[in-house]
Amino acid sequence: MDKMITIGKSVYMETYAQFPLVLNRGSGRYVFDTQNKKYLDMVAGIAVNILGYGDPLLSEKLKSVVEDGLLHCSNFYWNPYAIAAAEKLSRLSGMERVFFCNSGTEANEAAIKLVRKYGSTQDPAKTDIITMEHSFHGRTYGSMTATGQPKYQGAFKPLVPGFSYAQFNDYESVKELVTSRTCAIFIEVVQGEGGVIPADPKFLKQVRELCNQHDILLVFDEVQCGLGRTGYSFAWQISNVKPDVMTLAKALGAGVPIGALVATGKAAQVFTPGDHAATFGGNLLASAAANCVLDRLADPTFLPHVTTVANRIRSALSKLQQTYVQLTEIRGIGLMVGVEMSIPVRPIIEACMEAGLLIASAGPNVLRFVPPLTITEEEIDTAMAILADVLAQLLS
Ligand SMILES: *Cc1c(COP(=O)(O)O)cnc(C)c1O
């Protein structure tokens, strides 16, 4: 394993501060390294692998696409899996139209183009976009500019013009930024990278109303919080504040890369042929995976399970909070859980890894739990027991 990592370090661009772990296999909610050590996985490839590992339906479906030989055919032609996935997504969201791409970043880039076309066809100056501080929308120029965190933008200026940043969950700060040039407001319904912070339903309602008044498109980035993670198909369903545009990716292919832009009403009519495209977007392999995910979300037992196991992790964490003052806040919805700590979390994450448990962070002081949605109550108990041991070692 060390030898492989040495090679990796010599040939990878140094964009990631990777843990010294080489993973090559998964089963259920466990991943295995090349020395066959197993890890209970509460990272799920960053909220991607919602069906865990080796899901029989997903595996069978992908095998059958591979056996048929056609993984990709371009968007010159229709393919049955993309049509079915778009129809399922539309039914699940109540939003009419879907554009498939390959990632969250790309979905947000598409959203930026859509809202700018929408605004500028009314008034050429109506191209400004408001996003939230501490948001995360991606790493390419538009989506990085939309991201309200200077740490992602620092060395890469100049940024894309026309963006301003309001304070998340502060309606007045949004209202103050709105002008006749504003075409859209972008919000993550639960901020992920920014520290696992849910939007206040009242805030969402007020922003929706503001958008209606000024003919501004409301865009929800559900790339991380969407597709069942909160116990709802989409996090906006909790507050019942419906966006005009929604972006999806991470969980949509349960590990096969696929993203989507979804739009309703006037926003669904904006793009015309030639406006936007993606070579790989909605190819057969990725769309077949998306069909499996969307079928699972439509299964009436799937989302209640998320809420059941989410309650279990929450009560275990609350118990730990009673023992350790360093756990300052437990946040999140469903199986998108953040624990704010008064100390850096990296040593905790490393000790858990050593003990066979993978946990992510969301900034230096927040532990982030985004396990496969198929995780069982027993597995939650196992994970929480390992965490309790680690905290006892490090904090007592
Ligand atoms: C991960 C993420 C993105 C970017 O997605 P990529 O697939 O990495 O491009 C965008 N928005 C949110 C909310 C995310 O969590």
* Sign of the torsion formed by the C-alpha atoms of 203, 208, 209 and 215: positive
- 105 CA → ligand 1 middle, Å: 6
- Tell me, what's the pLDDT at 255? 98
Mean pLDDT rounded to a whole number for the chain: 98
Band of pLDDT at residue 2, cut at 50, 70 and 90: confident
- 247 CA → ligand 1 middle, Å: 9
Q: Write out pLDDT tens, residues 342-365.
A: 999 999 999 999 999 999 999 999
Q: Closest ligand 1 atom to the C-alpha of 104?
A: 5
Q: Is the CB of 136 under 6 A from ligand 1?
A: yes
- 39 CA → ligand 1 middle, Å: 24
Q: Is the CB of 223 under 6 A from ligand 1?
A: yes
* Whether the model pTM is above 0.95: yes
- Atom 6 in ligand 1: residue holding the nearest Cα: 104
- Tell me, what's the pLDDT at 1? 61
| Beta strand 327-333 pairing with 259-263 | unpaired
Tell me the HSE value of 226 on the side-chain side, using a 13 A CA sphere. 27
What proportions of the chain, in percent to the nearest 5, are helix, strand and coil? 45, 20, 35
Q: Report the C-alpha gap between 329 and 389 in whole angstroms.
A: 20
What does the DSSP assignment read for 323-382? H-TTEEEEEEETTEEEEEESS-SHHHHHHHHHTTEE-EESSTTEEEE---TT--HHHHHH
Band of pLDDT at residue 388, cut at 50, 70 and 90: very high
Q: Closest ligand 1 atom to the C-alpha of 108?
A: 10
Q: Closest ligand 1 atom to the C-alpha of 135?
A: 13
Band of pLDDT at residue 209, cut at 50, 70 and 90: very high
Q: Closest ligand 1 atom to the C-alpha of 257?
A: 7
Is residue 215 predicted with pLDDT exceeding 80? yes
- Tell me, what's the pLDDT at 211? 98
| Beta strand 217-221 pairing with 245-248 | parallel
| Mean predicted confidence (pLDDT) in 323-344 | 98
Read off the DSSP letter of residue 154: G
- Tell me, what's the pLDDT at 396? 83
- 159 CA → ligand 1 middle, Å: 18
